[in-house]
Every structure is written in structure tokens, then in C-alpha cells.
Amino acid sequence: MTGITALAIHLPRLRLQRAAMAAAMGWLCPRGEARGARTLAYWDEDPITMGVAAARACLAQVPQARTAIRALTFATTTPVFAEPQQAALAHAGLRLPEATRTQDVGGTMRCGLLALHAVLESTDPALLIAADMPLNNPGGMAEMRYSDGGVSALVGGGPDLLTYRGGASLSAPFIERYRAPDRPLATDWEERWVREEGFLDLVPRAIAETLAKAQLSAADIDHFVLPCVIPGAAKAVAQAAGLSRAKLAQPLDLECGDTGAAHALVMLARVMEDMHPGERVLVAQFGQGATALVLEATDAITTFPTAASAALAAGVTEANYLKLPIFRGLMPWERGLRGRFPVNEALTTAYRNSEALLGFVGGRSLETGQVQFPPSRLAVAEAGLFAQTQQPCPLADLGGTVATATADRLAFSRSPPNCYGLIDIPGGARLMMDFTDPEAERLSPGDPVNFVFRIRDLDERTGYRRYFWKAVAAPAPSAAD
């Protein structure tokens, strides 16, 4: 049987406090208790960048599996592009083999788990990415509950953490949430009807079919994962399905909110940190039907990193509600003269240089060992120029050191100040790069940085966006390191 070889999540660092959201909109849409926080993607993050970040962390767990991957599926209900594929851009950013089938799936928040079900039933080593940024009407409960995040799962290509025991997917024309293609905001239907006629009817039936296929009983399940923003619904489903012995996974609603298409696997990643060999977890999700999968922990589960807990704890408190509509483009704002410029992209140039721009691949001189970016036919060294073919040198995982740092409050930025500087990369390369993330202005010369795949700029006339790599502060080493 196949199974999950690696699993990793990415959560944006900003944590928008629900109390701040209620304070900003409570005069118009009064709400009761507003505890905890939801993740808020930074202005240069989107489902593609979050998916790439999660996939990089996933592949880092099994580095040798990268060349074996033959399929990449990108699942989201909030695609950046109707065309081209999100999966094709993620494929380039991850430097996966050219002979990799790429596809996008969506249409329901269950699409991430649906895609995992399909991958687990196949034989080729595959990478799944699920990432979402659900948009909801300002002031509503859905805006507080749903959040931003990504997850990636590797199936095949190494020893399994979780072995697949069986699964079932049921389809039904049950519409609990809808959005037209030309509308940015989704509409949710009445909660009680969704809970009673949707979750409590369809999910237990999917669970029963899954247990039958796995030749297991409800008493054989140790953990139960079911994302649901309706309070109490997951517990009611567990009771209806007879999962009285199973430990109900925490919904993570106070820590990060519901990350849509990614959330079933975000919750699973947290549960895996507490699992022991031989324990079984049932993962289910609702949305125009229901999917349920049973997975069993192997001895390798003891090596699973506690990265999910670290990501949940690594948030930066954000109390300014207006950053949500500004970052999402829902509110016009005065940009000043420097903000009024078009973004033009020569698609021919972007394609010819895609390995450098999306894969962040530089060149290493075979003559001098010098690394440079962008790659060139001419190797630069103190002794002169060497007209010699360079060896491709991936830079994304190398990190670097800040040589110079500027926090510019005069230049246009969607989240001032505009931070940038020179970065020294191991091997001799020095590159001017943008700094990003909420604490970018704290970077100073000598600080170590990591590189992240982010939005470079946006063309609001056409909806096109360019991607490149930026520098973020490297996390401080832990005591275990």
C-alpha cells in the first residue's frame, strides 16, 4: 500500500486578532465573543507562494524524492489565475523534473483532500499542494473564521510516515458555499441546515464506507480530523459515526483559523506530532459531498518534525483590521505618484529566463568555483572573465547574509517601508534583493537570511503578477540545534 511520505504546512506570520476585527466592524455587524486570531497573508503572498513554501518544507524532509516525482496537483478554491495553471508555476519554483504531470483542482474546500485521495489510489510518486485565501464579506463571521495557509504532501518516493488503509469520496449537489467566477467574495448558507442536512448526513456515510473498505471498525480509529467552522459540528459527526474512542483533532480556530482547501491536512500535520506507531487517523472533509481517508502510522512517525506546532507559534500579532482589505485589493487607497506605474512583463523573456527567475538558479564557474546571479556565459573572477559554460547552481536553499539594508519610506510599497539591500550568497554571489515579511525593516548588515518565493509586482489592469525570490530573516537557532 502507498502512503504519505512527508507532510508540511505554511502559515503566514501575521495573526489578525479577531478582537481587532470586531472593534473595527462591530458598529455595523455586532458580534459576540471574538477570541483568538486568524492568519493574514502578507501583501506579496498568495496561494501559489504559500503552496511553494509548504512544498519546499515538504521536500526538505525527503530530499532524494524530488527527482522521482511524476505528478503535481495544486488544489485551491481561490486560484490566482484562471489561466495559466497554478501547478505549472509551482513546478518551476520547485525545480521539479520536466516529465511531471501538472494539474489544478478546485471548486470545493474539499478539493485538497479529494486530490490526496486520488493520489493515494495511484502508483506514481506525486506531490500535492493545497493552498487557499478565502475572501468573505467584511464584518461577517466567515471573514473571522476563514484564513490563509498552505500545505504539501508527498506520496511515494521514500519510507511512509502514514500508510493508506482505504478511503471513500461521495458526491452530492449540496451547495453550502458559492461564488461566481467574476465575484471575489463567497456566500455561505445557513449554518443549522449545513450542519444537520450536510455534515451529519454525508460525512458519517463516507466514514462508514471508508471503514468497510479498510476492513476496520470505528473502535479501531485513534484520531479523527474534520475541519468545520460551525461550532460543535465535528464532535456531533464523531458521535454519529460511532468514533467514541477516537481523539478529536483540535480545529486550530484560535491559533490560525480555517485555511480552506488546506485545512484538513494542516490539522493532520498537527495530529501527526502526537501519533505513535500503529495508531490510525481518519481524516474527513465536507463540501459538495464528503471524503474520508484512513491512515496508519508507521515506525517512521517518531521522526516527524514538530514544524506544525512551530508554525502555529511563530505568528506576529496584527491589530490593524484595514490591512486585510488593503492587501486583498478590496479597498482603494492613495498610492502617491510613485505608486502609479504599470507593470509590463515580456512573456518571452520570462520563459527564456524561467529557471533563473522562478527556480532561482545561478551559475557556478567550473574554472574558479565562483557563484553568480544571473547565470551568464562569462564567469566573473578577480583574475578576469572566463568564457566558459557555467554549471547550474540552485540558490533558493543556500540562504545568505545581509551586506547592506535600506528601509525606504519614500518609494511605493503596499506595506511601507520598502525594504531592500545587498545579500551575500555562499560561493561569492552578491545580489540586490527585496526584503519581506512583517519585520523586514529590522534586518541589518550581518544578519542571516533565507529566501522565499513571493510576488514581485502586480499589474492591476490585467491581473498579471510576476514572481521572484526575496529575503526574510532566518529563524534563530533553537536550543536543540
pLDDT in tens, 324-347: 999 998 888 777 766 655 555 567
**What pLDDT score was predicted for residue 348?**
82
Question: CA-CA distance, 232 to 81, in Å (whole number)?
Answer: 35
pLDDT at residue 184 in the model = 84
What pLDDT is attached to residue 281? 98
Model confidence at 297: pLDDT above 90: yes
Neighbours of 285 (CB within 10 A): 30
Q: Which residue would you say has higher pLDDT here, 409 or 210?
A: 210
**Residue 144 near residue 38, CB atoms below 8 Å:** yes
Q: What is the pLDDT of residue 436?
A: 96
Q: Which residue's C-alpha cell is 448558507? A: 189
Given a cut of 70, whether residue 143 has pLDDT beyond it is yes
Dihedral (CA of 319, 470, 474, 41) sign: positive
**Which of 112-116, 181-185, 280-284, 421-425 shows the lowest mean pLDDT across its residues?**
181-185
* The pLDDT of residue 97: 94
Pairing of β 71-75 and β 101-105: parallel
**What average pLDDT does this structure show over 183-212?**
92
CA 238/CA 253 separation, integer angstroms: 18
Count of C-beta atoms within a 10 Å radius of residue 341: 11
Burial readout 349-378 (b: 16 or more C-beta within 10 A, e: otherwise): eeeeeebbbbbbbbbbbeebebbbbebeee
- What pLDDT shows up at residue 391? 87
CA distance 284 to 113: 8
Q: In whole angstroms, give the CA distance from residue 152 to residue 440.
A: 26
* 10 contacts: CB under 8 Å, gap ≥ 6: 50, 51, 53, 54, 57, 131, 149, 150, 151, 311
d(CA 63, CA 356): 21
Instruction: Collect all residues with Cβ–Cβ distance below 8 Å to 382 and sequence separation of at least 6.
Output: none
Q: What is the pLDDT of residue 377?
A: 74
pLDDT score for 343: 59
Burial class from Cβ neighbours inside 10 Å (0-12, 13-18, 19+) for residue 111 reads: buried
Q: What 3-state DSSP class applies to 76? A: coil
Q: Is the pLDDT of residue 318 over 80?
A: yes
3-state secondary structure of 77: coil
**Distance of alpha carbon 399 from alpha carbon 56, whole angstroms:** 14
475, three cell numbers: 529563524
Q: Quick one: pLDDT at residue 315? A: 94
Cα gap 24→35, rounded to integer Å: 15
Q: What is the mean pLDDT of residues 181-197?
A: 88
146 pLDDT above the threshold of 90: yes
One-letter amino acid of 215: Q
Q: pLDDT at position 313, please?
A: 94
pLDDT value of residue 330: 86
pLDDT tens digits, 434-480: 999 998 999 999 999 999 999 998 877 778 888 999 999 998 766 55
| CB-CB neighbours of 204 under 10 Å | 22
Q: Are 395 and 425 in contact (CB under 8 A)?
A: yes
Handedness of CA 385, 391, 395, 398 (dihedral sign): negative
pLDDT in tens, 17-66: 999 999 999 888 877 678 999 999 999 999 999 999 999 999 999 999 99
pLDDT of the residue at 342: 58
What is the torsional sign of CA 160, 163, 169, 175?
negative
pLDDT at 18: 94
- Amino acid, res. 343: V
pLDDT digits (tens, 9 = 90+) for 353-403: 889 999 999 998 887 788 989 887 776 666 555 666 678 999 999 999 999
| pLDDT for residue 114 | 97
- Reply yes or no on whether the pLDDT at 404 is more than 90: yes
Beta-bridge partners for 187? 178
pLDDT score for 325: 92
Give the model's pLDDT for residue 340. 54
> Residues 42, 320: contact at Cβ < 8 Å?
no
C-alpha–C-alpha distance, residues 28 and 25, integer Å: 6
Mean pLDDT rounded to a whole number for the chain: 91
3-state secondary structure of 87: helix
Rg of the chain (C-alpha set): 23
Q: Give pLDDT tens digits for 211-242.
A: 999 999 999 999 999 999 999 999 999 999 99
* 317 pLDDT above the threshold of 80: yes
3-class secondary-structure state, position 429: strand
What percent of the chain shows pLDDT beyond 90? 72
Q: Residue 38 corresponds to which cell in the numbers above?
A: 486568524
User: At 296, is the secondary structure helix, strand, or coil?
Assistant: strand
Cβ atoms of 210 and 202 closer than 8 Å: no
Mean local confidence (pLDDT), 245-272: 96
Backbone dihedral region for residue 422 (phi beyond 0: left; psi -120 to 50: alpha; all else: beta): beta
